[in-house]
Amino acid sequence: MKYHPTLLLGLLLMPLAVILVNCSAPSPPITPEPVILTAGCEQYTHLDIDWTARAPRPPIQSVSRPAQLAVHTLFIDETILDYAVAGGFDTIVQVLPWYTVEPQQNQFDWQDADRIVREVAEKDLNLVLRLDMPPQWAAGDDPYGFPFNLEGYLRFVTAVADRYRGHVLGYIIWNETNLAAEWSFSGQNLIFHYDLGHGRVAAPEQYAGLLGAAYQQIKAVDEQALVITAGMAPTNENSPRAVDDRRFLDHFLFLTKGECFDVLGAHVYDFGRDPLAPYEEDAISLSRIEDLKALLDTYEINRPIWITEIGYTVDSPYHPTVSQAEQADYLQGALERIETQWPWVQLTTVWNLSYGPGVEEEMAGYSLLASKEEVRPAFYTVQNFAP
């Protein structure tokens, strides 16, 4: 198997030979203090994050309702929020791109982020923010290190969590780190980079350290905010461009023991399969989530699972498609199976709710909306299912 090299752990010590002249006996060797490097949550928690972005918090109303059924949006406007409310969703999951908040180093622009957080709260919806998509200035150039500026990212995470303390339910730290395109080219043309095999997959040690440092920073400014792991892309591939999600999580959970996250995020796709299909070991299907729960149990990690993406596409050159009627039926079957068979799944997020030009074709086929003015039958499926 071709796998990206993991981070080098350990310390190479070079003894210093000292020749003592006119001494009756050599001095006893000096034993250095042991240096212990961990590959888990604490790798980067020692970093001193110089954060100077503190500013008066915008007035935002509070939301206090259970989070059970979410929808992933690609952008937020009044139309999208009205559809989310009408569909019976209680939570919005939305990417907050780092490059929009800090386009220049140490220069923060909160205008759009403030609007999103405020408007979601005004609709009495919970908000979960995914934090990735680095600005150009933060690009990394170390072929074995992070593909972005680690300290800059942690400063961004801290600034966001502090500004929206008490108004954001939780934060998803990066996305699909088992894909080289998502780890190395977040916010860019991911399909292009994936097809050409560009970039590198995160080492589980890297992601464990990133998550541990982000967890520490978030909890320092908003103790109640939940820290959610990136959902992994379901795949059986093991290559430089993709690593089996179960293999990646097995290593990651072994390293962290669940100590630096509150919720395990999961991306669950059937890719055109019936969601009621029985479990098969290597099938990319809804049942694959049972493997994720088994890994949590193996390491005795008592954390809930949130499905942060699930959906079916009616139009895509990349994924198996279904008809609009099947999209509705399959989504209903998936939601019912999750509710009845897997009580440890506390939140399910439908991918996605979007419309209009500028939406990538892959995303458009998954949407519950056919256009700004027209919903697909799957929209009514969710509406009827919502508590």
Q: Residue 15: inside a domain, yes or no?
A: no
In which element (H, E) is residue 366 found?
helix 361-366
Q: Is 159 helix (H, G, I), strand (E, B) or coil?
A: helix
CA distance 332 to 329: 5
Question: 63: which residues sit within 8 A by CB, 6+ positions away?
Answer: 121, 124, 125, 126, 127, 167
- Which residues of the chain fall short of a pLDDT of 70? 1-38, 51-54, 196, 357-360
User: At which residue do the structure tokens 């097995």 appear?
Assistant: 250
Q: What is the residue range of 375's domain? A: 69-385
CA distance 241 to 194: 7
User: At which residue do the structure tokens 């998803």 appear?
Assistant: 172
The pair phi, psi for residue 219, each rounded to 5°, is -65, -25
For residue 296, the tally of other CB atoms under 10 A from its CB is 18
Q: Is 376 helix (H, G, I), strand (E, B) or coil?
A: coil
Distance of CA 57 to the CA centre of its chain: 25
For residues 181 and 195, the answer to whether their CB atoms sit within 8 Å is: no
Q: Residue 56: inside a domain, yes or no?
A: no
Two tokens, residue 270: 């059937």
For residue 250, the tally of other CB atoms under 10 A from its CB is 18
pLDDT of residue 25: 40
pLDDT of residue 50: 73
Q: Please tell me the total count of domains within the chain.
A: 1
The CATH number covering residue 326 comes to 3.20.20.80
The pair phi, psi for residue 145, each rounded to 5°, is -100, -155
CA distance 11 to 381: 57
Q: Residue 9: inside a domain, yes or no?
A: no
What pLDDT, in 10s, does the model give residues 44-65? Answer: 999 988 766 567 788 899 898 9
Q: Residue 285: inside a domain, yes or no?
A: yes
For residues 69 and 347, the answer to whether their CB atoms sit within 8 Å is: yes
Torsion of CA 259, 244, 187, 226, to 10 degrees: -20
Q: Residue 366: inside a domain, yes or no?
A: yes
Two tokens, residue 165: 């303390």
Q: Beta strand 242-243 with 238-239: parallel, antiparallel or unpaired?
A: antiparallel
For residues 129 and 96, the answer to whether their CB atoms sit within 8 Å is: yes
Q: Residue 11: inside a domain, yes or no?
A: no
Q: Where are the beta strands (DSSP E) in the chain?
A: 69-73, 91-97, 126-132, 170-173, 226-229, 238-239, 242-243, 264-268, 305-310, 345-353
What pLDDT, in 10s, does the model give residues 187-219? Answer: 888 777 777 678 899 999 999 999 999 999 999
- Cis before 352? omega within 30: yes
The pair phi, psi for residue 167, each rounded to 5°, is -120, -5
pLDDT of residue 32: 39
pLDDT of residue 31: 41
Q: Residue 196: inside a domain, yes or no?
A: yes
CA distance 86 to 96: 24
Counting Cβ atoms within 10 Å, is residue 350 exposed (0-12), middle (13-18) or buried (19+)? Answer: buried
Q: Residue 181: inside a domain, yes or no?
A: yes
User: At which residue do the structure tokens 């008490």 appear?
Assistant: 166
CA distance 82 to 291: 36
